[in-house]
A and B are shown apart, each in its own frame.
Chain A
């Protein structure tokens, strides 16, 4: 099975990107449940009108949100975020009872409330949008069975497990998954288990038993999310542990596995040469190849260009420095040969290498307060954002194609060539992840 390109829905402003570079670019879309609850009509429109009927979708019920301190779900003025409140309303007790007052506790669930809650979470995913789909103007063009689109699979309620709390939350997670699998059999739906874990638990020997217990419930697949694991910044042991996790999930019986926030390393683990350990890797439109479970926001946005050989987004000014140093900005032809020849880059450069500025060199200036000083800073223009985004999407598509067509040796040689090309340009620091990836993947080939 080829490794599939999945993309996470972020905002409605990015809707058009789900058919870029082509309507069939993405096997599936993953949508957060609170977004569904918050804007159901617009979401129904997106699913019916923006993406093809062949594109799968999953609704992440976001149930871990209620497990954390209420600060996680409140806005700047301390009010509960309306999208979360609407989600809680759909899920009912116990989350709606404790919303905003405190985090969920195990004692909030009895046997019956666990069953009811699990079913409500699944029903939400399966049916919440149906009425809104029927209300859309385009509904008249759909056959009855096409109109009420349902997710490709339902995701059982889940919690964030760490090396410190897994003892507390694991059993109830298994219980919810068991109930979800019962529901799935009744409704002929697939059920996925969402495994959201800390880096500490990723590298803990306890994880093997946790996975075994979950697999024992016989879900059709797993969604994997390791808190804030950035594959371009991970240690050798973290990458090895990630591979071990995939292998454990795939042991005895093969299932679908989607990394919810993954990059090129995970894409490669989906290649047949490396054991087809994952069946899909999800990312956002230019972001989301790693994500913290409790997100830390803020910071000034800067233009970043995804360097195909490095498989990472790099600040425009660093790209400019490296490409200039390497002589790759001497002409459009050299740039396309050495850096990128995707259709977006060809269109933007348009035969004139000076146009590389359109990836982040122009910007729009705003004056902001910084402590006691006032500074003028450049923010990306709308065109720069779109250029960087679409170049990223083109490059990602190419990565999945590579993983699905190259042999293991070709994939490793490809990384080796990138290392050789960039070592003198950037120094080891910026490409050390390629060295780690190569080592882990070489070990995988030897074992296969």
Chain B
């Protein structure tokens, strides 16, 4: 069982986060890229990149978000989560969410650690895009 598109993964993610008290917005532009989903909880900004399979690409997309988000999360919509991915995530301090194709539910595998590489002026611009 697999998701047809990344949009499906993002849709399920959105519902999951909203019920957890997040304000959310999909496809938020930032420095020439588009972040799949930005979540805001209190003053904290979360960037979520969703992938159905190519987790390496997902991680590289996450790197640019280190400048703008307090927490960075990779969201995998794959049938399984690889051990190699879990090791990378742990090392990077990112969060890892698993959106399961069979049950269409989300589960935290790793909670993200606070990202200290944020550059506040650029984060403020992201928040402005989020509110628009």
Instruction: Please report A residues at the B interface, Cβ cutoff 8 Å.
Output: 300, 302-303, 315-317, 320-321, 324-325, 329, 353-354, 356-357, 360-363, 365, 372-378
Give the interface segment out of B79-87, B88-96, B98-106, B121-129: B121-129
Given contacts A321-B64, A353-B121, A362-B125, 15 further A-B contacts (CB under 8 A): A303-B32, A317-B32, A317-B67, A321-B63, A321-B66, A325-B117, A329-B119, A357-B121, A360-B31, A372-B5, A373-B7, A376-B27, A377-B32, A377-B33, A378-B33
| Residue B6, interface by CB 8 Å | yes
Cα distance A361–B121 in the bound complex, in angstroms: 9
Known: A320-B67, A320-B119, A324-B67. A361 touches B31 (CB 8 A): yes
Chain A residues positioned under 8 Å from B54 (CB to CB): none
| Residue B30, interface by CB 8 Å | yes
Chain A residues positioned under 8 Å from B28 (CB to CB): 376
Q: How many A-B residue pairs have CB under 8 A?
A: 65
* Nearest A-chain residue to B121, judged by Cβ: A354
* B64 A300 Cβ-Cβ under 8 A: no
Please list 29 pairs of residues, one from A and one from B, whose beta carbons are closer than 8 Å in the complex, sorted by A's number. A315-B32, A316-B31, A316-B32, A317-B32, A320-B122, A321-B63, A321-B64, A324-B67, A324-B119, A325-B117, A353-B121, A354-B121, A356-B121, A360-B31, A360-B32, A361-B31, A361-B122, A361-B125, A363-B29, A365-B129, A365-B132, A372-B7, A373-B5, A375-B27, A375-B34, A376-B27, A376-B28, A376-B34, A378-B32
* Nearest A-chain residue to B117, judged by Cβ: A324
Closest Cβ of chain B: how far from A429's Cβ, in Å?
14
Chain A residues positioned under 8 Å from B119 (CB to CB): 320, 324, 329
Closest Cβ of chain B: how far from A246's Cβ, in Å?
37
Chain B residues positioned under 8 Å from A356 (CB to CB): 121
Chain A residues positioned under 8 Å from B66 (CB to CB): 321
Majority secondary structure of chain A interface residues (helix, strand, loop or mixed)? mixed
* Nearest A-chain residue to B7, judged by Cβ: A373
Cα distance A357–B30 in the bound complex, in angstroms: 12
Cα distance A376–B34 in the bound complex, in angstroms: 6
| Number of residues from B at the complex interface, CB < 8 A | 23
* A363 B7 Cβ-Cβ under 8 A: no
* A363 B34 Cβ-Cβ under 8 A: no
Cα distance A12–B31 in the bound complex, in angstroms: 28
Chain B residues positioned under 8 Å from A354 (CB to CB): 120-121
Closest Cβ of chain A: how far from B116's Cβ, in Å?
11
Chain A residues positioned under 8 Å from B7 (CB to CB): 372-373
* A363 B27 Cβ-Cβ under 8 A: no
Closest Cβ of chain A: how far from B4's Cβ, in Å?
9
Cα distance A1–B5 in the bound complex, in angstroms: 61
Closest Cβ of chain B: how far from A384's Cβ, in Å?
11
Known: A317-B67, A354-B121, A372-B5. A377 touches B34 (CB 8 A): yes
Closest Cβ of chain A: how far from B111's Cβ, in Å?
24
Known: A324-B67, A325-B117. A317 touches B27 (CB 8 A): no
* A365 B29 Cβ-Cβ under 8 A: yes
Chain B residues positioned under 8 Å from A374 (CB to CB): 27
* B31 A317 Cβ-Cβ under 8 A: yes
* Nearest B-chain residue to A302, judged by Cβ: B32
Cα distance A212–B65 in the bound complex, in angstroms: 55
* A363 B32 Cβ-Cβ under 8 A: yes
Closest Cβ of chain B: how far from A294's Cβ, in Å?
27
Cα distance A320–B122 in the bound complex, in angstroms: 9
Cα distance A324–B123 in the bound complex, in angstroms: 13
* A357 B5 Cβ-Cβ under 8 A: no
Chain A residues positioned under 8 Å from B129 (CB to CB): 365
* B5 A378 Cβ-Cβ under 8 A: no
Q: What per-residue 1/0 map shows which CB atoms of B28-51 lie under 8 Å from chain A?
A: 111111100000000000000000
Q: Which of B64-82 contact A (CB under 8 A)?
A: 64, 66-67
* B5 A317 Cβ-Cβ under 8 A: no
